[in-house]
Structure 1
Amino acid sequence: MAPRITDALKTVFIFIILSSVFTCSAGDSENDRDFEFCGKWRNGGKALKLTYNLSPGCAPILISANESSLSIEGQITAQCNKSGVISLDQSGPPTGTHFCLFWEPLLDQLQLQVGGETHKLCEPAGLQQSCCTNLSPSSNEPETSYGIINGSIKGDVLTSKSLAAYGFFGESINCKEQFCDKAIKGPTQVNMIEEAVMRSETVGSVELPCALSSVVVMKEDFQGSDIVLTASPGLPPESIPSIHLPPSLRPPTKTSVKVVCTIFKNSSFFQEGGMSIVDNVVGISVENEIIRDLSEPIRIGFHHRAIHRTFSRKCVSWDTRKDPLKVNWLDDGCLTKQKGEKETECHCNHLTYFTVLVEMEPRPVRHLLALTAITSLGCAVSVISCLALIIFLCRKRKCKEQSIPIHLGLAMSLLFLNLLFFLTGTLANLGEEALCRWVGAGLHYALLSSFTWMALEVFQTFRLVYLVFTPPLKPYIWGLIGFGFPALPVVTLAMVGDIYGVREVAPSDDVSNPYQMCWMKNNHKALLAHYFTNVTVLAILVFSGLVMLFLVYRQIRRRDEWKQNQVAFLSIWGLSCLFGTTWGLTFLNFGPLSDIILFLSCILNSFQGFFLVLRFYMLGWMRKQTGGSTLGTSSTGSTRQHMLQPQEKS
């Protein structure tokens, strides 16, 4: 029984070793871009000649030598079908004549170097779809006096003996696809694509699975060119960039030179941390030239998905002068022209790889220190103001004014919002991720609750003007709406996860030292949550608030009370300034006035609690000046008393 177990273990062990050998061998010869076989041709020192007989296919190829002839024959090419004899104008030295055979399957090019001279046996015939590659040694002829010594593949010596011939066999593969797989494994390999297209002797469009190229020949009469690339399955027509080559691109010292424009279909290896490539990467290169400081820039029009204005985009080029192992995008030498949300045009004065980068994080904030100081001061003042207002409204509850519960709910939500916003920076720097998630969720809830109570304030004014005889709602109904409704989206987002946490806001003058706060994170889920909750609710609040206030104004503007009493005007003005429209300034944060809008929004929103108290105080003071009753010093009470009283008496 033991010998059987031993034999079985030996079999398994041998199988594992063989599997490892075959795996390593396959990995070493994996779809080489080219084949290079070199050696020394030991000949008789007489007149030498080169003979070749090549035909399409993927059968074994034989490289043989004798005292006067070096021969290459077999089926290895895709289109080349040639044979002939070439006389070599030299005699072989006693130590042997060095030679190398180069085979590039993608270009279908075969050339032989003998004694310092190059003979092209097969000229480049364009990029091949199917080709013969992965050449491996098959059988070698026995040792002989005249033949090939020190035969090697890419520098690896096969044997030091003198053999009459070397045989190799290959396999037929999808050459374009396999070439792309190797070319896009890293940024150091990407130039292989443009080099291959440049050397393929093709003019016009050249398509690969990973790229789409166009080759243009610039002659002496070159007056510029607009590159038109045909769409392919990997590139929809609407996403293909437009490229304009200026006349200054042609080197004045050359009468004819090629330029290659390439659109890369897969740009994932061009990505850089913190940035996102919008769509395509375009590479432009001139044959054997380094082009920079063009008098007229090249123009590349990128057509991409819609980019929201809160994300900055810029045209960049790949700086190949630094570490070639690292993708390094720079905006030097490129001018960005935004032509709408879905189009960006780049004007660049040099040649390399170009694209449009979008900052995944919101753009750095200008004057962040000043804005933070204003916000902190405003939040502190608003907290004190809201506390005073809550005490005041609690004392007024005995008046049974139906709007007091709404004012009280707004004051409480603003108190909670300003208090959390005042403390969020300190809490974020404590390093407790769990705590910051709770604070972020609480801050989001307070914001949505404040929006809801603002909407209820405006609705109550509309209700008192248009729905005079409707019975008042119970205070708990207002509380259920104002405090209960905002909890639904916040609880849902908290259950989804990875929404709330530490948020970094980078100042424009020192992006390496960001301000930290507890809020929504910087990721796609949090961004979607922001748009579907905050932006949507704010848009509804601003739009509906303005509509309702306009309807209220239209209803009361013809009454005598409107002309006689400024309290009513101040009430309407207060509602329009406080409830929603100040937050609506965020929609105007773009263009040359963005800094002014940002400061104005920061001041109005952070001091909102103070303005709310100031408004109540001014209403009460003006009512005393006009000899009115102090009952209903709230906005809606004043509106009802001074504008609706004649209607109610009638």
Structure 2
Amino acid sequence: YLRNVANTKQKWSKTDHREEETDDGNDRNFKMCGIWTLNSLPPVLASKVSPGCEGIIISANSSTLSVEGKISAQCLTNRRWILSTSQDPMNFCVFWDPLLDMLTVQVDREEIHVCPSLGLQGSCCTDLSAAGQKMSSVYGIKDGSVHGDLLNSRVMAEYKFKGDTINCAEQFCSKAVQESWGANMIEEAVIQSGVVGRVELPCAQGTVIEMKEDFTGYNVTLPTPGSVPPHVFPSVHLPASLKPAQKKNAKVVCTYYKNSSLFQVQCSQKILEDVVGITVENEIIRNLPEPVRIMFRHADILVSVHMCSSIDTADHELKWREEGCVTVHRGAQETECHCNHLTYFAILVQVNPRRLRHLEALTFITAVGCALSAVSCVLVFVALCRQRRGRLVGKDQSSLVHRGLVVSLFFLCLLFMLTGTVANVSHERVCQFMGALLHYALLCSLCWMAVEVLHTFRMVYMIFSVPPKPWIWYLMGFGFPVLPVVILVSMGNIYGPRTISQSEDVANPYHMCWMRDTHAALLAHCITNVGLLAAVVTSGFIMLFLVVREIHNRTEWRKRRVAFLSIWGLSCLFGTTWGLTFFDFGPLSEIILFLFCIINSLQGFFLMLRFYVLARMQSQSEYATDGSSTGSTRQHMLQTQERN
């Protein structure tokens, strides 16, 4: 059995790891090996095995290797095999799997099934331990070992082992629950049992179907443990395309797992009762032309977000993903999964998800606001470029900084408008790229707001300092955000499709390309987005207070509309309006959310409005722009900053 495991194609690609673990740490299976010294050819393998649990004796002489004892649940055999191997000495191993009631002897490259599998057993004889040895002079077993541990390096005539009777199925399930790949252990045991039809274990039940040449599809209702009414059983439709074309016969195993502790999920999710595993023996099935259909029947979950998910084992890491499966909501108590591959399937439910009320209204407001802001940013950018003409480079710092901000806001608004469409119609890789690009645009916008704060501080408090080189501003605004995005892309599983549910209709959530709903993505969001946003908003409020305090006595500030537009414009420039996101909790959460969407989606429009109103007021001003009426250089710089 252990050797066959190594030859079985595993969906989780963990064969080598688990075979070593079985040999070294799993006392359910028995493996005794040695070197048989003999002088008679052809050699003979003799067996005499009967039901019971008294133990087993493995012995050898000059012509015969013998295995006898009472260790089986059902196997009864008394046979002799003439071996085809003709060399002296010969390596051999005796394998005993009590769960399958299977005894196998391997002599060099020849393998004899002394006791073929008779299905999965309940009561069995296991935990075989050494009970005695008998020495031989010349012929017998040399270097006898159990699970790789040497028992005796000398030539011995026989080794005795005694066993204990236990409930093998329960012990196997208890161990499988503790293993990281326990579900795969169960599936391997079902495959190796050789049974066609119903298979039962305390931790899993299933059905093995044999697909013959005339296979046209099959519907199976999976059994469930206990006295559960039949109408809640999960059911599976196996399409005709499931059978490998190159094989005349193939077995498909459908396994039902009631114990979801075999499968790990993220802290924000839980498995809705059932897990169904489907596999074709020795095959990896992907991209089926006709999907496998799994119908899950469950309690009423109208208030929950639930989606079909399957296990993906890319990079040898177990992950639940929605890709490859389409969720069809048949009703409040039925969900059908259409999947184009074989693995383990379940309905994942969001644990206490935040479902947005009025999601359609918020989406519409944001889309209109972003569209208006994108157009406004283009107009402001053109105006700033015209304003730049005729100025010296060293005196054009304000225009440069403003242009960087409107460019980043333009791309942020544009990408945000497209993200929903891309998430619904594109491939996952495209959505990952879109999510990374949107994150970069957001970080650029926040960084340029931080640049506005630094530039204003320099204008107000460092009048006579040498202005920084333009490339420094560009590096801070467009260069710095590249670093965290590249790091997150290299980590993998950060960007991709994201689902936002609405309270009114959980079956029709909003899809977008952004950061995934994973622990790693949440941590990255807190560090890069929330951390940078907190720094920008805090510094923006401080700078806004300092600027207002510095220039509130100016003549034009006595006009209310000028004061309002100036404060509002500086608030947008410094990113303080983004601070609303920190108040999105409690009874005012919905009001704050609407204000956040309206104000920040229209940020580009407000900047344009401020720019044109102040420019018009400047053109109508009675005093010159050279600062002669201000009385000081500092007031002149403040005036210039405010007009720019």
Report the TM-score, using the length of structure 1 for normalisation.
0.52
Confirm whether residue 198 of structure 1 aligns to residue 191 of structure 2.
yes
- For structure 2, the residue ranges without an aligned partner over 5 or more in a row are 1-21, 370-510, 531-589, 600-644
Confirm whether residue 299 of structure 1 aligns to residue 293 of structure 2.
yes
Q: Which residue of 1 aligns with 2:271?
A: 277
Structure 1 residues 369 and 85, CA, compared in 2 at 3 Å: closer, same or farther?
same
Q: Which residue of 2 aligns with 1:62?
A: 57
Secondary structure of the residue aligned to 1:278 is strand
Structure 1 residues 319 and 363, CA, compared in 2 at 3 Å: closer, same or farther?
farther
1:79 to 64, 74, 77: 74
2:154 and 2:70 map into 1 onto residues whose CA distance is 26
Q: Which residue of 2 aligns with 1:352?
A: 343
2:254 to 261, 281, 286: 261
1:335 to 326, 351, 355: 326
Question: What does the per-residue CA deviation read over 1:498-533, in whole Å, with 9 as the maximum and x for residues that have no partner?
Answer: xxxxxxxx99845644799xxxxxxxxxxxxxxxxx
1:373 and 1:172 map into 2 onto residues whose CA distance is 73
Instruction: Quote the offset at 1:364 in angstroms.
Output: 7.1
Instruction: Quote the offset at 1:69 in angstroms.
Output: 0.9
2:227 and 2:176 map into 1 onto residues whose CA distance is 17
1:507 and 1:354 map into 2 onto residues whose CA distance is 24
- For structure 1, the residue ranges without an aligned partner over 5 or more in a row are 1-26, 375-505, 517-597, 608-650
2:232 and 2:156 map into 1 onto residues whose CA distance is 57
1:599 and 1:286 map into 2 onto residues whose CA distance is 54
2:118 and 2:262 map into 1 onto residues whose CA distance is 29
Counterpart residue identity of residue 29, structure 2: D
Q: Which residue of 2 aligns with 1:628?
A: none
Structure 1 residues 238 and 187, CA, compared in 2 at 3 Å: closer, same or farther?
farther
Listed as ranges, the matches of 1:186-225 within 5 Å are: 186-225=179-218
Question: What does the per-residue CA deviation read over 1:215-266, in whole Å, with 9 as the maximum and x for residues that have no partner?
Answer: 0000011111111233431755343211110001000110100000001110
Q: Which residue of 2 aligns with 1:43?
A: 38
- Superposition RMSD on alpha carbons, in Å? 3.3
Q: Which residue of 2 aligns with 1:126?
A: 119
2:330 and 2:65 map into 1 onto residues whose CA distance is 63
Secondary structure of the residue aligned to 2:139 is strand
Confirm whether residue 144 of structure 1 aligns to residue 137 of structure 2.
yes
Structure 1 residues 79 and 168, CA, compared in 2 at 3 Å: closer, same or farther?
same
1:30 and 1:174 map into 2 onto residues whose CA distance is 19
Q: Which residue of 2 aligns with 1:91?
A: 86
Question: What does the per-residue CA deviation read over 1:147-167, in whole Å, with 9 as the maximum and x for residues that have no partner?
Answer: 101111121111211111000
2:593 and 2:149 map into 1 onto residues whose CA distance is 71
Structure 1 residues 368 and 276, CA, compared in 2 at 3 Å: closer, same or farther?
farther
Counterpart residue identity of residue 47, structure 1: P
2:223 and 2:354 map into 1 onto residues whose CA distance is 35
2:65 and 2:133 map into 1 onto residues whose CA distance is 15
Instruction: Quote the offset at 1:32 in angstroms.
Output: 2.5
Task: Count residues with an aligned counterpart.
Answer: 364
2:289 and 2:85 map into 1 onto residues whose CA distance is 51
Structure 1 residues 197 and 28, CA, compared in 2 at 3 Å: closer, same or farther?
closer
1:371 and 1:239 map into 2 onto residues whose CA distance is 42
2:24 and 2:53 map into 1 onto residues whose CA distance is 16
Structure 1 residues 356 and 231, CA, compared in 2 at 3 Å: closer, same or farther?
closer
2:65 and 2:35 map into 1 onto residues whose CA distance is 11
Instruction: Quote the offset at 1:369 in angstroms.
Output: 12
Contact 1:281 1:355 in 2 (8 A): yes
Q: Which residue of 2 aligns with 1:233?
A: 226
Secondary structure of the residue aligned to 2:174 is helix
2:112 and 2:197 map into 1 onto residues whose CA distance is 27
1:164 to 154, 157, 164: 157
1:251 and 1:46 map into 2 onto residues whose CA distance is 44
Counterpart residue identity of residue 83, structure 2: L
Q: Which residue of 2 aligns with 1:105?
A: 98
Secondary structure of the residue aligned to 1:152 is strand
1:38 and 1:158 map into 2 onto residues whose CA distance is 10
Contact 1:35 1:154 in 2 (8 A): yes
1:47 and 1:268 map into 2 onto residues whose CA distance is 52
Listed as ranges, the matches of 1:568-579 within 5 Å are: none
Counterpart residue identity of residue 331, structure 1: E
Confirm whether residue 182 of structure 1 aligns to residue 186 of structure 2.
no
Structure 1 residues 138 and 314, CA, compared in 2 at 3 Å: closer, same or farther?
same
Confirm whether residue 154 of structure 1 aligns to residue 154 of structure 2.
no
Contact 1:364 1:508 in 2 (8 A): no
Structure 1 residues 251 and 29, CA, compared in 2 at 3 Å: closer, same or farther?
closer
Instruction: Quote the offset at 1:64 in angstroms.
Output: 0.5
Counterpart residue identity of residue 71, structure 2: I
2:54 and 2:220 map into 1 onto residues whose CA distance is 40
Secondary structure of the residue aligned to 2:310 is strand
Instruction: Quote the offset at 1:51 in angstroms.
Output: 1.1
Q: Which residue of 1 aligns with 2:582?
A: none
Instruction: Quote the offset at 1:185 in angstroms.
Output: 1.6
Over the matched positions of the two proteins, sequence identity in percent amounts to 45
1:261 and 1:83 map into 2 onto residues whose CA distance is 36
Listed as ranges, the matches of 1:504-523 within 5 Å are: 509-510=514-515, 512=522, 513=525
Structure number with greater Rg is 1
Structure 1 residues 364 and 329, CA, compared in 2 at 3 Å: closer, same or farther?
farther
Structure 1 residues 201 and 272, CA, compared in 2 at 3 Å: closer, same or farther?
same
Instruction: Quote the offset at 1:50 in angstroms.
Output: 1.2
1:371 and 1:197 map into 2 onto residues whose CA distance is 53
Counterpart residue identity of residue 293, structure 1: N
Contact 2:183 2:262 in 1 (8 A): no
Question: What does the per-residue CA deviation read over 1:107-135, in whole Å, with 9 as the maximum and x for residues that have no partner?
Answer: 11111111210111111101111111111
Question: What does the per-residue CA deviation read over 1:371-399, in whole Å, with 9 as the maximum and x for residues that have no partner?
Answer: 7999xxxxxxxxxxxxxxxxxxxxxxxxx
Contact 2:224 2:256 in 1 (8 A): no
1:61 and 1:600 map into 2 onto residues whose CA distance is 75
Confirm whether residue 315 of structure 1 aligns to residue 308 of structure 2.
yes
Listed as ranges, the matches of 1:333-482 within 5 Å are: 333-362=324-353
1:298 and 1:322 map into 2 onto residues whose CA distance is 25
Secondary structure of the residue aligned to 2:285 is coil
Q: Which residue of 2 aligns with 1:576?
A: none
Q: Which residue of 2 aligns with 1:115?
A: 108
Of residues 256-265 and 138-147 in structure 1, the stretch that sits farther from structure 2 once superposed is 138-147
Counterpart residue identity of residue 322, structure 1: D
Counterpart residue identity of residue 68, structure 1: S
Question: What does the per-residue CA deviation read over 1:31-86, in whole Å, with 9 as the maximum and x for residues that have no partner?
Answer: 63321111000112533111111100001210001111111111011111110111
Secondary structure of the residue aligned to 1:279 is strand
1:302 and 1:507 map into 2 onto residues whose CA distance is 27
